[in-house]
Structure formats: structure tokens, C-alpha cells
């Protein structure tokens, strides 16, 4: 693998006729620039896992979205974590393998709800998922959802109004869905608890969180 003292101009202008050219940065141990024949440039970091000395490869991102300076900072941060025994490449692989909340919810509906919840409740579940939950967190990895994301979801549910036909009158403010935030929370919590019980996720981010509001508010 070629060694090169990388600089901004070199990174911007390097081209190759090879299927892929890998250039190791002399100034930043482990950092490399990977260039394809089509001109795609990707930053990667090679290291040995501390626990067993196994060689690992961690991908940072593409150039020019990530500059040489940013890639070097990422390499320094990764090296610091590795020195403490972390395996960032393994963690990234686990994250990529984790399903999105949408996929988890679909499994929950197929493997649990259909056998344990009435048709009426399942219809309401689907409405809550489609109107409130999935637009907010559906495409997020289950492991990426924390209390901050859940708080935003619930705040959005609190601000929602009833737009159903016959439920709004000209000259009147739209009616707030006072019970809906609690329903959103309870359904989200039920899906997370099921996912933990099935071994799909390790932690439940709703643990310790409370219902949004009283049913009388």
C-alpha cells in the first residue's frame, strides 16, 4: 500500500486507473484514502483490535463531504477509543445490522399484536404509528433512538390537532388530541419492551420515562 504525506491538493486531484487505490497517510497512523477508478474517494482507518490483535477496518466517510483535516481528527478519536479497548469497527457493523424502528414495529405487529390485540386496537395502533410515530422515528436505527428523540416525538404528538372531518368548525381553534400523546408513548414503549424481550435490542429508551400527561388535561 503506497505511503504518502497527504495534503488537501493531493486528495482533491488524485486519480487512478486501478479498480481501487489505497493510500496510507504518513502523518496519521492508520488513516488511508481509498480511490476508485470512477473517482469515488473514501476515508478509512486500519487498526488492530486490542483484545486479540485482529486487523480491523473502519470507514469514516467520503471526500469531499469529509475533508482531510476532519478525517485526521476522526482517526485520532478512534485511536484514543481503541487504546481503551474499544472496537469501533465492530460497533459500526452491529449498528448497520440493527433494524430500523419501522422494521421492528412491523415485526411486533406480525409476531405479537395480531395474536394478542383486538382488531379495533390494532387499527388504532396502525393509525398512531402512521400519523405520529413512524414519521418521527420510523427510519432511525433502534439503537439510535434515545430520550431526546422520544421527547421530540411526544412533543409533536402534544401539538397535534384533530383534523378529522366534522371535528373542526370554521372560526374555532382546532381541537387538541389530549389523549393521543399518552397513546403514542404507550405504543412506542410496548414495541421497545417487546424488542428487548425478543433480543432484537439490548436497551429500552423508554425505561424510566413517564406518560406525557393526565387523561384529564
Contacting residues for 19 by C-beta, under 8 A, at least 6 apart: 36, 37
The mean of the pLDDT values for the chain is 87
Do 126 and 167 have their domain in common?
yes
pLDDT for position 22: 94
Q: Which pLDDT tens digit goes with each residue over 81-139? A: 999 998 888 777 767 768 899 999 999 999 999 999 999 999 999 999 999 999 999 99
User: Integer distance in angstroms from the first to the last C-alpha of the chain?
Assistant: 66
Considering only residues 54 and 72, tell me which one the structure prediction assigns the higher pLDDT: 72
Q: Is the pLDDT of residue 175 over 80?
A: no
Do 86 and 110 have their domain in common?
no
* Residue 8 maps to a domain: yes
Do 53 and 122 have their domain in common?
no
* Residue 27 maps to a domain: yes
Quick check: helix, strand or coil at residue 97? helix
Do 49 and 110 have their domain in common?
no
How far apart are the C-alpha atoms of 68 and 75, rounded to whole Å? 10
How far apart are the C-alpha atoms of 35 and 160, rounded to whole Å? 48
pLDDT for position 94: 67
How far apart are the C-alpha atoms of 141 and 77, rounded to whole Å? 23
pLDDT for position 112: 95
Q: For the domain that residue 16 is a member of, what is the CATH number?
A: 3.30.160.390
Domain that holds residue 146: 101-197
The percent of residues above 90 in pLDDT, for the chain, comes to: 64
* Residue 154 maps to a domain: yes
pTM score: 0.56
Looking at the 3D structure of the chain, how many domains does it have?
2
Residue among 130, 213, 152 at smallest CA distance from 177: 213
Q: Which pLDDT tens digit goes with each residue over 36-63? A: 998 999 999 999 988 888 898 898 999 9
Q: Is the pLDDT of residue 27 over 90?
A: yes
The grid cell for 207 is 425505561
* Residue 52 maps to a domain: yes
Amino acid at each position: 500500500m503506497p505511503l504518502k504525506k497527504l495534503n488537501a491538493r493531493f486528495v482533491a486531484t488524485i486519480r487512478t486507473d486501478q479498480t481501487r487505490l489505497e493510500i496510507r497517510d504518513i502523518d496519521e497512523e492508520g488513516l488511508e484514502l481509498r480511490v476508485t477508478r470512477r473517482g469515488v474517494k473514501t476515508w478509512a482507518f486500519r487498526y488492530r483490535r486490542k483484545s486479540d490483535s485482529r486487523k480491523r477496518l473502519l470507514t469514516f466517510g467520503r471526500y469531499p463531504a469529509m475533508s482531510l483535516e476532519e478525517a485526521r481528527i476522526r482517526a485520532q478519536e478512534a485511536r484514543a477509543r481503541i487504546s481503551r479497548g474499544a472496537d469501533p469497527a465492530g460497533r459500526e457493523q452491529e449498528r448497520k445490522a440493527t433494524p430500523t424502528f419501522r422494521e421492528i414495529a412491523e415485526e411486533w405487529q406480525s409476531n405479537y399484536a395480531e395474536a394478542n390485540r383486538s382488531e379495533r386496537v390494532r387499527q388504532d395502533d396502525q393509525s398512531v404509528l402512521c400519523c405520529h410515530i413512524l414519521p418521527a422515528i420510523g427510519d432511525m436505527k433502534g439503537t439510535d433512538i434515545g430520550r431526546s428523540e422520544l421527547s421530540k416525538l411526544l412533543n409533536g404528538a402534544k401539538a397535534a390537532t384533530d383534523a378529522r372531518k366534522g371535528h373542526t368548525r370554521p372560526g374555532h381553534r382546532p381541537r387538541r388530541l389530549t389523549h393521543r400523546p399518552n397513546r403514542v408513548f404507550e405504543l412506542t414503549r410496548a414495541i421497545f419492551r417487546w424488542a428487548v424481550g425478543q433480543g432484537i435490542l439490548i436497551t429500552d429508551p423508554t425505561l424510566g420515562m413517564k406518560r406525557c400527561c393526565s387523561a384529564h388535561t
